[in-house]
């Protein structure tokens, strides 16, 4: 059985660690807890054709996150069939070029096309808001909030953090919108990330104009990278075993099974 470290070494040439487009894929395949990750590799060890990382996260205990990269649709389809269980729900993150593979394997409940924004320090001019206070999430990650005694009004935090990038999220209560509080908490979160020597990213659904305006107001610019996410269940026949992919795969039990 190939070790986690060896599998991660094999897929490293498939990723550009400096590229926003590969930020989430690098995090889940290279840095996510190996005890909560299964990694499948297609192709020979010296020249892999793709990989699939299947991860148990704290965001959804009932729906695992799967991150897919491959040089061809056929390799991507084979990886999905090999690594995912029929009739089981997943949250898939992949490139738009691999959409045919996702459509072949998934009964999709929701498909999103996202833009990946990066911070432009020339446009980043944070404003201090005394209402913003730092806090910790349940898993110990930093977040920044505006709250009253009764309720949470605005929040920004980190969805995932690697040595290279951190993706932020922003939420504002409906009754608190239009006051600039979303930008205020986002400013504080971005400042914390930058001080850590990491590049902030913001992922926005293509038709979410409100989130796009917020991203631009903070100083984010469109990197040009796109990703596709699929929430859905693997088709009953989509998990048919096409034979093991060439190269390694992690064999230990899925902690969510």
What is the reported pLDDT for 142? 83
How far apart CA 24 and CA 117 sit, in angstroms, is 13
* Domain extent listing, the chain: 4-115+229-234, 121-218
How far apart CA 193 and CA 98 sit, in angstroms, is 31
What is the reported pLDDT for 208? 95
What is the reported pLDDT for 237? 84
* Residue 50, C-beta contacts closer than 8 angstroms, at least 6 positions apart: 14, 41, 42, 43, 68, 69, 70, 71, 72, 75, 76, 79
What is the reported pLDDT for 250? 40
What is the reported pLDDT for 251? 33
Q: Do domains 4-115+229-234 and 121-218 have the same CATH topology?
A: yes
Q: Which CATH class is domain 121-218?
A: alpha beta
What is the reported pLDDT for 77? 96
What is the reported pLDDT for 254? 31
What is the reported pLDDT for 242? 47
Q: What is the mean pLDDT of each run of 10 residues along the chain (257 residues)?
A: 86 96 97 95 93 89 93 96 95 97 96 97 89 80 87 94 96 91 95 95 96 96 97 82 44 30
CATH code for the structural domain at 4-115+229-234: 3.40.630
Helical spans, DSSP H, in the chain: 4-11, 23-26, 73-83, 99-105, 181-195, 209-218
Sign, Cα dihedral of 149, 155, 159, 163: negative
pTM of structure: 0.87
């Amino acid at each position: 059985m190939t070790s986690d470290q060896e599998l991660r070494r094999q897929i490293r040439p498939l990723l550009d660690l400096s590229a926003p487009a590969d930020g989430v894929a690098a995090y889940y395949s290279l840095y996510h807890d190996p005890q909560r990750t299964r990694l499948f590799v297609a192709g020979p060890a010296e020249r892999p054709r793709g990989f699939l990382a299947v991860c148990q996260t704290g965001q959804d205990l009932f729906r695992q996150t799967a991150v897919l990269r491959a040089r061809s649709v056929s390799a991507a389809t084979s990886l999905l069939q090999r690594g995912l269980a029929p009739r089981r729900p997943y949250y898939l993150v992949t490139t738009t070029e691999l959409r045919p593979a996702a459509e072949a394997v998934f009964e999709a409940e929701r498909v999103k096309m996202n833009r990946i924004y990066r911070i432009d320090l020339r446009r980043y001019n944070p404003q201090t808001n005394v209402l913003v206070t730092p806090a910790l999430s349940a898993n110990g990650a930093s977040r920044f909030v505006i709250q009253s005694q009764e309720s949470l009004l605005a929040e920004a935090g980190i969805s995932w953090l690697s040595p290279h990038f951190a993706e932020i999220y922003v939420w504002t209560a409906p009754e608190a919108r239009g006051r600039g509080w979303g930008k205020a908490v986002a400013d504080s979160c971005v400042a914390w990330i930058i001080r850590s020597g990491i590049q902030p990213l913001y992922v926005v659904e293509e038709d979410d104009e409100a989130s796009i305006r917020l991203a631009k107001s903070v100083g984010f610019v469109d990197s040009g990278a796109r990703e596709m996410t699929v929430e859905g269940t693997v088709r009953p026949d989509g998990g048919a075993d096409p034979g093991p992919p060439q190269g390694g795969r992690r064999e230990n039990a899925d902690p969510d099974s």
